[in-house]
């Protein structure tokens, strides 16, 4: 397919997505290192610190569970960005209705839904733990989560599924157009 | 596809090459070749009109239906 000039906006988008993917890769590595540290060399100190602070039993496990869930959210976000990059590349190559783009958008919809679901779990875990800690330890330890699921995220997922259908139809029409003389 | 394209026969009768017809109807040789070999999925009325004009024929002379 012929390469066409799409202007500076597309270039900015491509660079932004590359930077975003890199940020997610680094964040993912950071969280994995954190999990490994929690499970190995930092375990003794953290368990002792939590006990000294009067944290209820299970706090250590709650920390690990939250980190694993955060890692899953970052991974899904990374996959989301990767698919978006592939779509942007296809636009750059002058082929926005590439047959793969419909499937990519559908996958992005599932990733967006996955992120929402995991955020819901993380938020629930944080709130549940804080209530438990308050009951057991007098409210000295709280687990605050600042990533509550939103309607915007769900709307994004629904929009992506609709767009996936539009692009699938567009790809079919493109195929017909290719064979039209 | 049961629709057949008889462009090859028409060109032969008119002693015209595909390249010459492509120039006359202002189409690429590649697209005309797709039509000639029966690989086209659709044909625009404007294309049909141009070919019929240059080959002095009717649409029915260019297209056929092979019922088997």
Give B3 to chain A, closest Cα distance, Å: 14
pLDDT tens by residue, A24-70 = 999 999 999 999 998 998 888 888 888 887 777 778 888 899 899 99
A92-120 burial, b at 16+ Cβ within 10 Å, e below that, comes to: beebebbeebbebbbbbbbbbbbbbebbe
Over range B9-38, report the average pLDDT: 94
- Closest residue by Cα to residue A173 from B44, B42, B46, B29: B42
State the Cα–Cα distance between residues A146 and A167, nearest whole angstrom.
34
pLDDT tens by residue, A152-173 = 888 999 999 999 999 999 998 8
CB contact, 8 Å: A44 with chain B? no
- DSSP string across B10-53: HHHHHT--HHHHHHHHT--HHHHHHHHTT--SB--HHHHHHHHH
> Which residues of chain B neighbour A174 with C-beta distances below 8 Å?
none
Rounded to two decimals, the pTM is: 0.72
């Amino acid at each position: 397919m012929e390469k066409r000039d799409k202007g500076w906006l597309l270039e900015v988008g491509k660079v932004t997505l590359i930077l975003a993917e890199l940020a997610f890769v680094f964040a993912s590595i950071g969280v994995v290192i954190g999990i490994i540290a929690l499970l190995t060399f930092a375990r003794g100190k953290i368990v002792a610190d939590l006990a000294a602070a009067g944290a209820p039993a299970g706090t250590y496990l709650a920390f690990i569970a939250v980190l694993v869930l955060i890692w899953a959210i970052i991974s899904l976000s990374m996959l989301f960005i990767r698919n978006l990059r592939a779509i942007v590349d296809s636009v750059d190559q002058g082929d926005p209705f590439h047959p793969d783009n419909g499937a990519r958008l559908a996958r992005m919809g599932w990733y967006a839904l996955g992120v929402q679901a995991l955020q819901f779990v993380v938020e629930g875990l944080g709130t549940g733990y804080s209530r438990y800690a308050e009951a057991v330890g007098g409210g000295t330890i709280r687990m605050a989560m600042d990533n509550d699921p939103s309607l915007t995220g769900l709307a994004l997922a629904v929009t992506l599924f609709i767009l996936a259908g539009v692009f699938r139809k567009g790809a079919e029409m493109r195929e017909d157009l290719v064979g039209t003389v | 596809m049961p629709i057949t394209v008889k462009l090859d026969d028409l060109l032969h009768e008119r002693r015209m090459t595909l390249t010459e017809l492509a120039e006359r109807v202002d189409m690429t040789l590649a697209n005309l070749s797709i039509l000639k070999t029966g690989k086209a999925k659709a044909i625009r009325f404007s294309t049909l009109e141009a070919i019929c004009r240059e080959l002095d024929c009717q649409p029915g002379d260019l297209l056929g239906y092979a019922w088997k």
